[in-house]
Amino acid sequence: MLTVSNLVKAFPGKDGPVTVIEGISFTIPEGRCYALLGPSGCGKTTTLRCVAGLEAASSGRIEIAGTVVSDADAGIFVPVHARPIGMVFQSYAIWPHLNVFENVAYPLRVERPRVPKVEIASRVADVLALVGMGAMADRPATQLSGGQQQRVALARALVRRPSLLLLDEPLSNLDARLRVTMRNELAEMVARIGVTALYVTHDQAEAFALADRIAVMNAGHIVQEGTPREIYGRPRASFIAEFLGAANLLAGRVAEPCGPGVARLAIEGCNGHLVFETTAPAGTAIDLVLRPEHLVVTTSRPANAANVFAGRIDKISFLGNVIECVIGVEGGPTLRAVAAPEAELQEGMAVWVRASAGTVIARDES
C-alpha cells in the first residue's frame, strides 16, 4: 500500500525555485497497480523518484506499507536503500560487470543482516524462473537483448520481496513489436506476484494495459484519476482528451437543456441538431470531444438522426485496417474520422458524419 499526500517538489532554478509537483495526493491499495500517465515534464517521474527516495520532497507525506518514509514537515526522510521498494529503471540499469545471476542477487548480497548463500541461490533461481530467465543465470549482462534486460531488471526489483514495486517507463526502451508482447507479460507477472505497483509512463496503451487505476498528470497536477475506462470514456479535461488520442475537439456553448442530463449544444459553424449528455447550465462554454471511432461516415444523409454534420472529404489516408479521412464540415470545423477499409470514399465527396457518442467538457474559463 502506498499513500502520497500533498506532495510538493521544487527544484532550485536560476530565478528562484521551480515547482514541478504542485501538491498531489493518491493512494494505491495493497496489491493494486497504479499508473501515473502524462506528457514529459508533467512531474510523473519526479513523483516516482520522491516515492523511491531518489529525490527529497519539498513538502507532503509519503507512506509505504503503513510506514511514513518521507514527511518534509516532520523532518522524516528514509533514504532510498532503507525503503522497502524494488525499482525497474527506464534504462534498466543492468550492471555490465555482473552476470545475470549476480545482478539479481545484488539486493540480497547487500542486505543486512546477511542473507545465507543457500537462500540467495534459491531465491534468485525462483525469481529468474518467474520472469522466464532461469536458463540464462550465467549469461554476462552485456549479452542480453532489450526484452531480456527488462526481465532481469524486474527480477532484481522483485528478489527482495518489496512492499512496493516502482516502474519508470519500463517499456519505452523496447522496439514497438516487443513492447506489445512485454506489456502483456509484465502485466501478467506483476499480477501473479500480487505486489503493489506504481508505473510511470507517457504511453496511454501501456497505462491502460498495466494499471487498475490511472492518474493523468499535467504541469505538476493530477488532472483526473480513475479506471482506464473512466479516463478514456469520460475525460474531465480537454487536455486529457487530446493527450489520449487524436480526438476532435469542437468549441461551443450549451444552448439549452433538453431533458435530464442532456442538452442541446451550439457549435460554431454547425447548424445541425446536436444533443449530448451534460449537466452544465445554458450558456456554459464547452469543448465537445468526438473520438474518430465514434464518427460514422455515410454518403447519404442518415434518416431522422441527431448529431449529424454535413461536410466534404478533404483528404483520405488508406492505413490498411482503416481509412482515415479528414472531413471539412460546411462553414465549420474539420473532423477526423475512420471508416472501414472497404468503404467507397473519395476525396472531394460530399458526406454526412454522425456522432454516435461524445463527451462534453465544461471549459475552465478562469
Partner 1 sequence: MADAARALPRRAPVAVRQQSGLDLWGRVVVVAGVAVAVYLIAAPLAMLLATALRGPVEFLPFEPGAQWTLENLVAVYTAPVLYQRIIPDTLVFVLGSVALSFTVGFTLAWLVERTDLPGREAWFTLILFPLLVPTIVLGIAWVFLMGPKAGWLNLALRALMGTSGEGPIDVFTMGGLIVCQALASVPFVFILLTAALRTMNPSLEEASGTSGASPLTTFRRVTVPVLLPGILAPLILVCLVTLEQYELPSIIGVPAEVNVFSYRILYELNPADGLPNYGGAAAVALPFLVLGIALLAVYNIVVRRAEKFVTVTGKAYIQRRLPLGRWRVPALVFVGLYVVMGALLPAAILVWASLLGYVPPSLAALKTASFAAYHRLFADPNFWLALRNTVIVAGASALIISLVGGLLGWTLLRLRFPGRTALDFFSFMSIGIPSVIAGLAVMLLYLTIPIGIYGTFMILIVAYSYRLAVSTRLAKAGLMQLHRELEEASAASGARWMSTQLRIVLPLLRASLFSSFVLLFIVGVREFTLPLILNGPDNIVLSVLLWKVFQNGDAPQAAALATLIIALVIPVVALARRALMRAGG
Q: Residues in the site for partner 1, rule: CB under 8 A? A: 11-13, 18-20, 39-42, 46, 49, 52-56, 79-82, 85-87, 89-91, 93, 95-97, 106-107, 109-111, 153, 156-157, 160, 166, 218-220, 237-239, 364-366
Provide the minimum distance between the beta carbon of 79 and partner 1 in the complex, in angstroms, as a whole number: 5
Q: How far apart are CA 115 and CA 3, in angstroms?
A: 30
Provide the minimum distance between the beta carbon of 303 and partner 1 in the complex, in angstroms, as a whole number: 37
Provide the minimum distance between the beta carbon of 180 and partner 1 in the complex, in angstroms, as a whole number: 24
Provide the minimum distance between the beta carbon of 55 and partner 1 in the complex, in angstroms, as a whole number: 4
- Complex with partner 1: residue 9 or 354, whichever CB lies closer: 9
C-alpha cell at position 226: 480513475
Cβ atoms of 156 and 104 closer than 8 Å: yes
- Complex with partner 1: residue 264 or 363, whichever CB lies closer: 363
- Complex with partner 1: residue 147 or 220, whichever CB lies closer: 220
Q: How far apart are CA 116 and CA 134, in angstroms?
A: 20
Q: How far apart are CA 28 and CA 18, in angstroms?
A: 28
Find, among 104, 115, 112, 106, the residue nearest to 148 by Cα. Answer: 104
Strands 359-362 and 285-290, bridge-based pairing: antiparallel
Q: How far apart are CA 257 and CA 249, in angstroms?
A: 21
- Complex with partner 1: residue 24 or 325, whichever CB lies closer: 24
DSSP state of 321: S
Q: How far apart are CA 191 and CA 56, in angstroms?
A: 30
- Main-chain phi, psi angles of 81, to 5 degrees: -65, -15
- Provide the CB-side half-sphere exposure for 51 (13 A, CA): 35
Provide the minimum distance between the beta carbon of 231 and partner 1 in the complex, in angstroms, as a whole number: 17
Provide the minimum distance between the beta carbon of 211 and partner 1 in the complex, in angstroms, as a whole number: 21
Q: How far apart are CA 75 and CA 80, in angstroms?
A: 16
- Complex with partner 1: residue 20 or 210, whichever CB lies closer: 20
- Complex with partner 1: residue 49 or 179, whichever CB lies closer: 49
- Complex with partner 1: residue 97 or 192, whichever CB lies closer: 97
Provide the minimum distance between the beta carbon of 82 and partner 1 in the complex, in angstroms, as a whole number: 8
